[in-house]
Amino acid sequence: MVVATKKRAIPEIVINEAWCKKCGICIATCPTKVFEAKKDGFPLVVRGDACTWCDLCELKCPDFAIVLRGDRHAQG
């Protein structure tokens, strides 16, 4: 039996360094642990392929410093 799997789209996660205050909210709220903090506290995308487009990082960022780009409905 062959099971077809549907590939999902992976967003481009853009962090505006000028706007980010390194509060860590994106790191704390991400359910799939896409981010890790650099030594200076700036969020770094380390597992972008784990992003599920939940939008929590974008919605919770008080500085509007994170944007998810791409077509979430596209098949990759």
| pLDDT at residue 72, as a whole number | 83
Is 54 exposed, middle or buried, given 0-12, 13-18 or 19+ CB atoms closer than 10 A? middle
Structural domain spans, the chain: 12-69
From CA 75, how far away is CA 11, in angstroms rounded?
12
Q: What 8-state DSSP symbol labels residue 48? A: G
For 21, phi then psi, to 5°, come to -100, 10
Predicted confidence at residue 75, as pLDDT, reads 62
Q: Could you report the average pLDDT of every consecutive run of 10 residues in the chain (76 residues)?
A: 65 97 98 97 96 96 97 74
Tell which CATH architecture fits domain 12-69: 2-Layer Sandwich (3.30)
